[in-house]
Amino acid sequence: MNAHPANLSPRAALATEREIVAAAYDPEIVREAGRRMIDALHSHFTDVQAGGGAVLNWHLPETNVQLATDQLRAADTSDDFQVDALTARFEELVRQILNRGQNLHHPHYMGHQVPASLPLAGLFDAVTALTNQVMAIYEMGPWATAVEHAMINEVGQAIGFAAGQFGGLVTSGGSLANLTALLTARNVSIGDSWKTGLATGESAPVLVAHAEVHYSVTRAAGILGLGTDQIVRVPLDSQRRMDVAQLDDILADLRRRQVKIVAVCAAACATPTGAFDPLRPIAEVCRRHQTWLHVDAAHGGAACLSEKHRHWVEGLELADSVVCDAHKMMFMPALCAFVFYRNYQNRYAAFQQVAPYLFDPSAPGMAQFDNGITNVECTKRAAAIGLWGVWSMFGRRLFAALVDLTFDLADRFYHLLSAQNDFEAFCRPSCNIVVFRYLPAEIKQRPEAEIDAFQLRLRRSVIKAGEFYLVQTTLDGRRYLRTTLINPLTDDEHLNGLLHCLREHGSRLLQTG
């Protein structure tokens, strides 16, 4: 006997659970959605790389959150899970992502140390994301593991580490990379710290670091139990590099007082201005004082791939640990960060744990390929696939060209700024980071606080208009504009356009007070 219609569930006539799940996994939908996505990306890159549209699609955060929420809820009112309907909806969402985001491939993007990534690398990443190639043990990601080991060997030897003697890993970002390397340094330098923790009070260990060390290192000090108060900052020389003589004095004093030292943390290059520490002299001082040397080369490490610019990282191979982000100057999509250890065995020193459900005691030879032993992450994305794919297509010379083009462009920008009466460059750049101020005659004689406030207002005006994207920094208590020229398609015409844009916005700001 049939149930009365009034007793039917409100969703009885809608798609069943199995039908919804089948649609979500349907290879035909994946194929059609993929075709539409590639077409949308083709249009996007063609327009953006030619300088079309806004750099930053500026909307208030509340507006974007509401729109994103509306899209989520719209799906609950639909019951059409056919190929045409779903792929049309997919295309609509893809275009919304492209139309509401930051356009890093626009030649007017000159902001943070996040590159106009190589699109082909993203396609390789898509393959591993679609098939969910994860890494913790070799058997879960055999090819991803092989690729990662190949890239570690290739980049490590480019740095200058001796083949067969160094080790490394890939992790999600420079912050996690610095944390992992400094955890290793802590465990090696203070042998019982993993089990017994760290001493406090007068016997508390310290981390010695470049005075303008990246905040990820200060975070690591807190996470590792050292405490940010236990960072000893080494003063800088006239080029904003670590002062080697003062480092020597600091280490000698700490050793004399029997203070335990986790590591010295040098920069290649420092984030505020792009200054490279003199690594070879620093390494010699650390060797003499028997101190672990860690180098945060997240941004500048890729200079090792360039014959023209590798002198900036001379001595990098002498460090005990090195961090290098492929998602910066190797132009990979985020995130792909390398950690290198000069001594291969140190890659196992970060952790002292056993997970019998993961690591198979019947196959001890696999241990060196089970990266869950060496990473903070257990399940980890196959982050090196995109780098391996593009390197396998173009070779090492592509990455040398990317470094050369952007470093040289920054030097030309410095000379362009220096030739202007109303701009002031902070210093000649070592890499592709350029720091400067806009100082029209109307503001030069004003109090420092007003000049600083003007730089911030000027930047905000420019980025909200979507014409260019640049950031700000503070040096010696003063505010500056800061550019990272990290799109190799940016050229001199765009740099001249930035100066013109700043003058226009600056003039309007001065007129309106």
**469 strand-pairing partners:** 109
How much is the pTM?
0.92
Question: How far, in Å, CA of 177 to CA of 183, rounded?
Answer: 10
Q: Lowest mean pLDDT of 148-152, 189-193, 374-378, 462-466, name the range.
A: 374-378
Buried b (16+ CB within 10 A) or exposed e, 334-362: ebbbbbbbbeeebbbbbbeeeeeeebeee
Strand residues in 26-128 grouped as ranges (E): none
Q: Which two tokens stand for residue 347?
A: 């890659």
Residue 4: per-residue pLDDT: 41
Q: Do you know the residue count of the chain?
A: 513
Percent over 70 (pLDDT), the chain: 94
- As a whole number of angstroms, the distance between CA 223 and CA 183 comes to 9
* Sequence-separated (6 or more) residues with CB below 8 Å from residue 207: 182, 217, 221, 226, 230, 231, 232, 261, 262, 263, 265
Q: What pLDDT was estimated at residue 5?
A: 42
* Cβ atoms 130, 338 nearer than 8 A: no
Give the span between the Cα atoms of 340 and 346, in whole angstroms: 9
Q: What is the DSSP letter of 141?
A: S
Among 75, 83, 91, CA closest to 14:
75
Pairing relation of β-strands 293-296 and 261-267?
A: parallel
| Lowest mean per-residue pLDDT among 34-43, 139-148, 152-161 | 139-148
Residue 188 tokens, joined: 């090696």
What is the structure's pLDDT at 469? 96
Pair 316, 279: CB distance under 8 Å: yes
Helices 396-418 and 492-512, packing angle to 10 deg: 40
**Rounded CA Rg of the chain:** 26
Residue 135 bridge partners (DSSP)? 380
Burial 390-416, CB ≥16 within 10 A → b, else e: bbeeeeeeebbebbbbbbebbbebbeb
Band (pLDDT 50/70/90 cuts) for residue 367 is: low
CB atoms within 10 A of CB 453: 14
Nearest alpha carbon to residue 415 among 432, 400, 402, 428: 428
Dump the DSSP string for 456-475.
HHHHHHHHHHTS-B-EEEEE
CATH class of the domain comprising 133-393: alpha beta
CA separation for the pair 346, 467 (Å, rounded)? 48
Q: Tell me which residue of 294, 335, 385, 321 sits closest to 168, measured CA to CA.
A: 321
When pLDDT is averaged across residues 74-89 and rounded to a whole number, the result is: 89
Q: Are 267 and 294 in contact (CB under 8 A)?
A: no
Q: Which residues contact 347 (CB under 8 A, 6 or more apart)?
A: 167, 168, 169, 184, 341, 374
Residues 6+ apart with CB under 8 A from 219: 175, 179
Q: What share of the chain is helix, strand, coil (3-state, %, to 5)?
A: 50, 15, 35
Same fold, 133-393 and 398-512: no
CATH architecture assigned to 398-512: Alpha-Beta Complex (3.90)
Tens of pLDDT, residue by residue over 311-361, are 999 999 999 999 999 999 999 999 999 999 999 989 888 886 554 445 555
How would residue 363 be classed by pLDDT, with cut points 50, 70 and 90? low
pLDDT digits (tens, 9 = 90+) for 368-423: 777 777 888 888 899 999 999 999 999 999 999 999 999 999 999 999 999 999 99
Q: Where are the domains of the chain?
A: 17-103, 133-393, 398-512
**3-class DSSP state of 265:** strand
Give dist(CA 53, CA 497) in Å, integer: 15
> Rounded to whole angstroms, how far apart are CA atoms 429 and 83?
53
Contact 303, 255 (CB under 8 A): no
- Which residue(s) pair with 209 in the sheet? 233, 265
Using an 8 Å Cβ cutoff, are 323 and 297 in contact?
yes
**Which residues fall within 8 angstroms of residue 505, CB to CB, at 6 or more apart?**
458, 461, 462, 465
CB 183 within 8 A of CB 361: no
Portion of the chain with pLDDT greater than 90, in percent: 82
**Alpha carbons 125 and 142: distance in angstroms, whole number:** 16
pLDDT number for residue 36: 97
Q: How many CB atoms lie within 10 A of CB 129?
A: 13
